[in-house]
Amino acid sequence: MDQRDEFWWRHGIFYQVYPPSFQDSDADGVGDIRGIIDRLPYLLQLGVDALWLSPIFPSPMADFGYDIADYTGIDPLFGTMEDFDALISAAHASGLKVILDLVPNHTSDQHPWFAESRSSRDNPKRDWYIWRDPLPDGGVPNNWLSEFGGSAWEHDATTGQYYYHAFLAQQPDLNWRNPAVREAIYDVMRFWLRKGVDGFRVDVIWHLIKDAEFRDNPPNPHFREGRPPHERILTQYSTDQPEVHDVIAQMRRVTDEFEARILIGEIYLPLHRLVAYYGNDLGGAQMPFNFALLSTLWSARSIETIIADYERALPAGAWPNWVLGNHDRPRVASRVGPDQARVAAMLLLTLRGTPTLYYGDEIGMHQVAIAPDQVRDPFEKNVPGLGVGRDGCRTPMQWSAADNAGFSTATPWLPVPDDFIHENVVNLEADARSILSLYRALIKLRKELPQLVSGDYLPIAAEGDLLLYRRQSEGKAVVIALNLGAEPVSMASDAAGLDGEILLSTFLDRQGEKIEGVLDLRGNEGAIIAK
């Protein structure tokens, strides 16, 4: 990949690495930077273009790195700054980009900034965080709730005020209305950009600005028992405030100081609100992450509607993107089932827009059941019994049938499932029809066909479990036909314009087959047809 290509992210494929679980190089049971370097050849063979690394900064690990104690260091658990420099060098030499997680909404309570802020009410950094007086009865300032359970306000006995934390009490929120906070984070961004990182995925970017009046959030009329307790209220005043877009525009200007960099936003919002994060005149995030496929009903009509709504909502000139899995959501193979996981792969890699893969999805890793005594996720510990734990999608990468799936010679920080003996990279590489072989074939085909990257998306009317669309560019087209059901489907191909030659089936066994008059798909099968 051309390192100077300003729009590389439009035709690139992103791959999220969760560092503790990718590859352990020093036998402590936790993945590290050297392990990632060792596995770069695998990623090159897979065909991805950019690595996004979840946090590797110094942290007490209350939330596994999303509680940062030093924004410009490397946690010894993952290695050294020299290791990171070596990763950047090796990745760039191979044509791979490197994206870092930026976590600007909150720090660790062990960060020196917070130590100063909580030391006294008149400390110069007091206003770097969000402090409020108790109510007259001594109660919390408002009804805002932590996403990890309980009130979002923590009382500080030393100064007699409460500080706000959208997540753990060990993760106090920064005050993004303070210009000094903004400049400090922008300097952090410049530090890593000078080191050669190719951009940032900004954690919970829609949380950065809170209501200036700290009004109570309204109740959620659609709350259901059995859901996490923070969903009892709507985050009307604690997230997605209008002023956040000024902050994002400033962040974008920082990345634009450097050549060919990208700003990605983590945003869990409905599509019509998500697209505002592209910014006025597209001066916001180049890719506000579109998570619609993570929570939709897995049916042809639901997905068809989501695609149409998203395409319709995109501002002029905005570039779409799609995500099937990440470190916070159950594995796609468990959400849709192992058979449909192949169809999901074809969907992800043939839709218009940049795809993001989550490590292990390409080998069909499933959600792992975690025994109570092995739970590491603070969300699960704080809100037990609701199945909200994220450990099950963060288990070690299954490289081989060796001990601990080839991830480590020590006991891993999270367990590997019993199926790693068969479901691992080595075995799946040897199987020409495995899901790993499918991912590689899809990525290869995507790189060969411009219409799959830059072509228009044109829906084709279909019924039942069949999802049909055309990708068309400069007079050339391919049709994608996906059966989202377990039963075979058959339809007249000439009327729908489906006649042609199969380039790829999700079963990897119909290449070159001619479609004339009738298209037949087996249950759980997808096909790419050249017109």
- Residue 146 pLDDT > 80, yes or no? yes
* Residue 448: inside a domain: no
What is the overall mean pLDDT for the chain? 97
pLDDT digits (tens, 9 = 90+) for 233-267: 999 999 999 999 999 999 999 999 999 999 999 99
**Mean per-residue pLDDT for 47-51?**
98
- Residue 2 pLDDT > 70, yes or no? no
pLDDT digits (tens, 9 = 90+) for 253-308: 999 999 999 999 999 999 999 999 999 999 999 999 999 999 999 999 999 999 99
Q: Where in the sequence is the domain holding 481, given as residue range(s)?
A: 455-530
Q: According to the model, what pLDDT value does residue 313 have?
A: 97
Query: Quick one: 372 and 506 in the same domain?
Result: no
- For residue 201, list its beta bridge partners: 101, 264
Separation between Cα atoms, residue 298 and residue 197, nearest integer Å: 36
pLDDT digits (tens, 9 = 90+) for 481-520: 999 999 999 999 887 789 999 999 999 999 999 999 999 9
Beta strands per DSSP E along 113-175:
131-132, 153-156, 161-164
Residue pair 269/240 in contact by the 8 Å Cβ criterion? yes
Q: According to the model, what pLDDT value does residue 3 have?
A: 60
Tell me the backbone φ, ψ of residue 520, rounded to 5 degrees: -115, 130
Which residue's structure tokens are 């100064």?
Answer: 159
> Domain boundary at 442, 463, 485, which?
442
Query: Quick one: 127 and 150 in the same domain?
Result: yes
Burial class (CB in 10 A: 0-12, 13-18, 19+), 186: middle
Burial class (CB in 10 A: 0-12, 13-18, 19+), 438: buried
* Residue 487: inside a domain: yes
Separation between Cα atoms, residue 341 and residue 93, nearest integer Å: 33
* Residue 296: inside a domain: yes
Catalytic sites, residue numbers: 203, 257
Query: Quick one: 289 and 329 in the same domain?
Result: yes
Query: Quick one: 215 and 332 in the same domain?
Result: yes
End-to-end CA distance of the chain: 28
Separation between Cα atoms, residue 319 and residue 290, nearest integer Å: 11
Separation between Cα atoms, residue 517 and residue 503, nearest integer Å: 17
Q: According to the model, what pLDDT value does residue 28 have?
A: 98
> Domain boundary at 442, 475, 491, which?
442
* Residue 324: inside a domain: yes
The one-character DSSP state at 481 is E
Q: According to the model, what pLDDT value does residue 493 have?
A: 87
Query: Quick one: 79 and 117 in the same domain?
Result: no
Query: Quick one: 13 and 127 in the same domain?
Result: no
The 3-state DSSP class for residue 50 equals strand
- Residue 324 pLDDT > 70, yes or no? yes
Separation between Cα atoms, residue 164 and residue 106, nearest integer Å: 10
Residue pair 346/506 in contact by the 8 Å Cβ criterion? yes
Here the tokens at position 193 are 């950009």
* Residue 449: inside a domain: no
> Domain boundary at 442, 471, 494, which?
442
Q: According to the model, what pLDDT value does residue 5 have?
A: 87
pLDDT digits (tens, 9 = 90+) for 408-466: 999 999 999 999 999 999 999 999 999 999 999 999 999 999 999 999 999 999 999 99
Residue pair 293/341 in contact by the 8 Å Cβ criterion? no
How many distinct structural domains can be found in the chain?
3
Query: Quick one: 256 and 191 in the same domain?
Result: yes
Better-scored residue on pLDDT, 494 or 145: 145
Helix (H) or strand (E) segment spanning residue 38: helix 33-38
We report the CATH number of the domain holding residue 384 as 3.20.20.80
* Residue 169: inside a domain: no
- Write out the DSSP string of 443-475: HHHHHH-HHHHTSEEEEE---TTEEEEEEEETT
Query: Quick one: 218 and 297 in the same domain?
Result: yes
Query: Quick one: 348 and 460 in the same domain?
Result: no
Residue pair 479/462 in contact by the 8 Å Cβ criterion? no
- Helical H runs in 383-509? 425-429, 435-448, 450-453, 493-496
Query: Quick one: 197 and 295 in the same domain?
Result: yes
Query: Which of 214, 202, 217 minimizes the C-alpha distance to 247?
Result: 202
Query: Quick one: 118 and 100 in the same domain?
Result: no
CA distances from 509 to 352, 431, 516 (A): 25, 13, 18
Query: Quick one: 16 and 48 in the same domain?
Result: yes
Residue pair 67/169 in contact by the 8 Å Cβ criterion? no
We report the CATH number of the domain holding residue 487 as 2.60.40.1180
* Residue 450: inside a domain: no
Percent of the chain at pLDDT exceeding 70: 99
We report the CATH number of the domain holding residue 121 as 3.90.400.10
Query: Which of 494, 496, 488 minimizes the C-alpha distance to 520?
Result: 488
The 3-state DSSP class for residue 333 equals helix
Residue 1's pLDDT band, with cuts at 50, 70 and 90, is low
Q: According to the model, what pLDDT value does residue 4 have?
A: 73
* Residue 172: inside a domain: no
Q: According to the model, what pLDDT value does residue 495 have?
A: 74
**Mean per-residue pLDDT for 28-56?**
98
Separation between Cα atoms, residue 296 and residue 461, nearest integer Å: 20
- For residue 473, list its beta bridge partners: 476
The 3-state DSSP class for residue 156 equals strand
